[in-house]
């Protein structure tokens, strides 16, 4: 057996050894019954979506089951964030994507989650931007390579040293990110961990598809959601990801407590 083929020798030259601390995982979830209950709630005037539900349930899971996700790395040690902050990536009416932050989502009900995100969307429509988005706009105007040097400086000050500024801090992107790529027509996707954010978790919702599924011993058409995650292996392990997914599974099977107004 020849190990050092021409391709292997070429690959060893052009690629670097992976060093990113990322764990990827995904699960297919039957959301048929959940979508029915969401539809009933929407008829009552609450414009809830799967994104709102997953945002809320993830916050509850972190607060109650896996608080390790509400942590970050600073100066070589793990620290707990003072509060839980969700960052939700939404598609705005103009087609652009923007992140909206919700403070202490675990203390809200589903209607308050909906209202909080809607308020931030309304602000974005009026041209109001978060400090993080303003910072990105400022960096984008700085010519290369000065932009790279400034980014590395800010990353060192905020992420490595844990310093905070009015426009940027270690928690500028929240504790975790929820992104629904299903609204873009994608069945699923594997997220990246932002190198500029101390995020331990990024969750991606794919498009809900009708698929053959074993339900109560029979193969029937059901609505299936692919939920993917990227975890920061520096602060959490796959075991924590498993506990999170198990919590989400149970919540989706029995969503009533999370849909109470």
Assess contact for 158 and 170: CB atoms under 8 A: yes
74 phi/psi in degrees, rounded to 5: -145, 125
User: CA–CA separation, 246 vs 239, rounded Å?
Assistant: 11
227 phi/psi in degrees, rounded to 5: -115, 120
Q: What pLDDT score was predicted for residue 193?
A: 83
Q: What pLDDT score was predicted for residue 136?
A: 60
Q: What pLDDT score was predicted for residue 93?
A: 67
User: CA–CA separation, 54 vs 227, rounded Å?
Assistant: 10
∠ CA 57-256-53 to the nearest 5 degrees? 30
What pTM did the predictor assign? 0.86
Q: What pLDDT score was predicted for residue 91?
A: 74
Pairing of strands 176-180, 97-103: unpaired
Residue 226 CA from chain centroid, whole number: 14
Q: What pLDDT score was predicted for residue 228?
A: 95
Instruction: Print pLDDT tens along the chain (261 aa).
Output: 666 777 777 777 777 766 777 889 999 999 999 999 999 999 999 999 999 999 999 999 999 999 999 998 888 788 899 999 999 987 766 666 778 899 999 999 999 999 999 998 888 766 655 555 555 666 677 887 888 888 888 878 877 777 776 666 666 778 999 999 998 889 998 888 877 778 899 999 999 999 999 999 999 999 999 999 999 988 899 999 999 999 999 999 999 999 987
Q: Count H helices and E strands in the chain, helices first.
A: 7, 9
């Amino acid at each position: 057996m020849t190990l050092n083929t021409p391709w292997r020798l070429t690959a060893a030259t052009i690629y670097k050894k992976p060093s990113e601390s990322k764990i990827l995982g995904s699960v297919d979830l039957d959301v048929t019954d959940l979508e029915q209950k969401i539809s009933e709630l929407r008829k009552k005037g609450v414009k809830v979506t799967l994104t709102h539900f997953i945002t809320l349930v993830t916050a509850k899971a972190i607060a109650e089951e896996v608080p390790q996700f509400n942590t970050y790395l600073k100066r070589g040690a793990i620290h707990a964030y003072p509060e839980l902050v969700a960052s939700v990536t939404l598609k705005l009416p103009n087609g652009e994507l923007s992140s909206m932050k919700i403070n202490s989502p675990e203390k809200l009900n589903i209607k308050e989650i909906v209202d909080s995100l809607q308020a931030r969307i309304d602000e974005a429509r009026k041209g109001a931007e978060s400090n993080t988005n303003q910072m990105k706009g400022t960096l984008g105007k700085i010519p290369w390579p000065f932009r790279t040097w400034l980014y590395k400086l800010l990353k060192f000050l905020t992420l490595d040293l844990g310093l905070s500024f009015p426009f940027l801090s270690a928690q500028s992107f929240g504790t975790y990110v929820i992104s629904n790529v299903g609204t873009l027509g994608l069945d699923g996707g594997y997220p990246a961990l932002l190198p500029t954010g101390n995020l331990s978790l990024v969750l991606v919702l794919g498009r809900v598809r009708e698929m053959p599924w074993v339900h109560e011993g029979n193969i029937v058409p059901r609505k299936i959601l692919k939920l993917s995650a990227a975890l920061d292996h520096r602060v959490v392990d796959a075991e924590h990801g498993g506990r999170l997914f198990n919590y989400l599974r149970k919540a989706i099977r029995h969503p009533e407590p999370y849909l109470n107004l």
